[in-house]
A and B are shown apart, each in its own frame.
Chain A
């Protein structure tokens, strides 16, 4: 199991556990983390699973690739930062055990 901590906009922390190989979107949805909707079912098509990766983790997770569908979608989201990613595109493996993700104030 991989541990993931979601930090809400008001600073509240939600620690969840999820099987390896699933995505951060599933980690949020299966555990009712508020603020992550994931409307498209994880197809990288809706941008309603926006998270800001904690700066300490961003290099391990990987930065947003230019010219990707993910980048195309995120440009319309509110409150994006250099650490913004779509949760459905973050696959959780052993290296990411302990990952910290920040949930933006609101999603599109």
Chain B
């Protein structure tokens, strides 16, 4: 394998030339450093053009297929009878779920096939159903306003810490009816769940395991309080009182919780940060927003496309099949790169541009499609709409004043620090 050394200040033409020089067979888009340095786009661009269904024979995650075009991704995502999400086969991320000795054998409905998936998912969907979101909206708006009102104008602050993390954690705590003063624990557990040992969050799989068990015990306490109580409309009460979920084995209980925590936390957090960054990189779009705040409703899905908070989802082939003219063998690992599909010019007009009033802004891959499509999509959009409406009421400009720092991960497309200065109207 050629070693890749990519310096952060390399310009994009230089990067493209560099990427063009790598033998196709040696391209491995799973390297977390490519996401952290935000150079991954040039690799996906080449794969979409030259080898949209690409086989990588050797990587830290073993051999895998990369699906990089919109239509092919849609074909895999909607064919859940052939492309399995089952945890025991590896699950839903390029990193196998159950193959690491010291890893917990978590079970969660996102990493299950039918019919078990359907029953468990149905048990929790009411929490994010439109009718429940109507009740949540005023609560989220009040909190978003309070967060923004507390920020200093004209001073450098970290937007991720002060706004993105705060808002999503508060929303999650509300959904779980989680003890309010302890809600920072949710952020920690979310980070720990997706952490690679040694990348700055946990030092070892053992530490990760210990913290996740602590999380489970904490929730077990809440669960025991709420089981057999007249049904509350928080997620814990719903799971504790639904026949599909109330007798879950421990690792299934923990897995589903973590799924909801990560699903509700990491993703929207990064879209809130990503929106600020995108608007700063496209000042003409920021002007458009200043002129007409009504454009927020189409800007929200555009932000979610632009950021693509989860870079990929993975499936395992249950039988021999074909995608884009390539033979996929039974047992193969198939990675759908949503981040690449969302930049595919054959499906999305001028995909590299951030266009807040684009046509069909909702037709992006960030939520996935088919039976595993993100169930919190409306809640994510609601939070983004509210925060931007409240920002526009207060600030003329959220100015990015330094380079963003990004997460070392090939799954969560995370912004870990974003220095900004606020300008009042």
- Answer yes or no: A107 CB below 8 A from chain B CBs: yes
Q: How far is the CA of A105 from the CA of B125 in the complex (A)?
A: 16
Q: Are A106 and B131 in contact (CB under 8 A)?
A: yes
> What 1/0 flags go to A85-108 for Cβ under 8 Å of B?
000000000000000000001111
- Closest residue of chain B to A72 (Cβ to Cβ) is B371
Question: Which stretch of B99-107, B203-211, B319-327, B372-380 is in the interface?
Answer: B372-380
Q: How far is the CA of A106 from the CA of B375 in the complex (A)?
A: 14
Question: Which stretch of B114-122, B259-267, B385-393 is in the interface?
Answer: B114-122
- Closest residue of chain A to B119 (Cβ to Cβ) is A75
Q: Please report the number of residue pairs spanning A and B whose Cβ atoms sit closer than 8 angstroms.
A: 59
Q: Are B370 and A39 in contact (CB under 8 A)?
A: no
Q: How far is the CA of A46 from the CA of B77 in the complex (A)?
A: 11
Q: Known contacts A69-B78, A72-B118, A78-B129; is A39 also within 8 Å of B362 by CB?
A: yes
- Answer yes or no: A44 CB below 8 A from chain B CBs: yes
> What 1/0 flags go to A16-49 for Cβ under 8 Å of B?
0000000000000000000001011101111110
Contact of A73 among B77, B125, B362, B371 (CB under 8 A): B371
Q: Are B121 and A76 in contact (CB under 8 A)?
A: yes
Which residues from 60 to 99 on chain B have a C-beta closer than 8 Å to any C-beta of chain A?
Answer: 74, 77-78, 80
> What 1/0 flags go to A34-66 for Cβ under 8 Å of B?
000101110111111000000000000000000
Q: Are B122 and A75 in contact (CB under 8 A)?
A: yes
Contact of B118 among A43, A75, A107 (CB under 8 A): A75
- Closest residue of chain A to B377 (Cβ to Cβ) is A108
On chain B, the residues within 8 Å of A69 by CB distance are 78, 370
On chain A, the residues within 8 Å of B367 by CB distance are 39, 46
On chain A, the residues within 8 Å of B360 by CB distance are 41
On chain B, the residues within 8 Å of A75 by CB distance are 118, 122
On chain A, the residues within 8 Å of B59 by CB distance are none
On chain B, the residues within 8 Å of A41 by CB distance are 360, 363
> What 1/0 flags go to B36-80 for Cβ under 8 Å of A?
000000000000000000000000000000000000001001101
> What 1/0 flags go to B353-375 for Cβ under 8 Å of A?
00000001011000101110101
On chain A, the residues within 8 Å of B377 by CB distance are 108
How many B residues face the partner with a CB closer than 8 A? 26
On chain A, the residues within 8 Å of B114 by CB distance are 72
- Closest residue of chain A to B80 (Cβ to Cβ) is A72
Q: Are B362 and A76 in contact (CB under 8 A)?
A: no
Q: Are B371 and A78 in contact (CB under 8 A)?
A: no
Closest chain A CB from B114 CB (angstroms): 7
Closest chain A CB from B147 CB (angstroms): 26
- Closest residue of chain A to B134 (Cβ to Cβ) is A106
Q: Are A78 and B130 in contact (CB under 8 A)?
A: yes
Contact of A45 among B77, B118, B375, B378 (CB under 8 A): B77
On chain B, the residues within 8 Å of A76 by CB distance are 118, 121-122, 125, 371, 375
Q: Known contacts A73-B371, A78-B129, A107-B130; is A45 also within 8 Å of B122 by CB?
A: no
Q: How far is the CA of A69 from the CA of B373 in the complex (A)?
A: 13
Q: Are A45 and B131 in contact (CB under 8 A)?
A: no
Closest chain A CB from B250 CB (angstroms): 26
For A43, A47, A107, the residue with the greatest tally of chain B CB atoms inside 10 Å of its CB is: A43
Q: Are B118 and A46 in contact (CB under 8 A)?
A: no
Q: How far is the CA of A9 from the CA of B196 in the complex (A)?
A: 48
10 closest A-B pairs by beta carbon, nearest first, are: A106-B130, A45-B369, A39-B362, A78-B129, A45-B78, A72-B371, A41-B363, A45-B370, A40-B369, A76-B125
Chain B interface (Cβ within 8 Å of chain A)? 74, 77-78, 80, 114, 118, 121-122, 125-126, 129-131, 133-134, 360, 362-363, 367, 369-371, 373, 375, 377-378
* Other 18 A-B pairs with CB < 8 A, given A43-B369, A105-B130: A39-B362, A39-B363, A39-B367, A40-B363, A43-B74, A43-B78, A45-B369, A73-B371, A76-B118, A76-B375, A78-B130, A105-B131, A106-B129, A106-B130, A106-B133, A108-B375, A108-B377, A108-B378
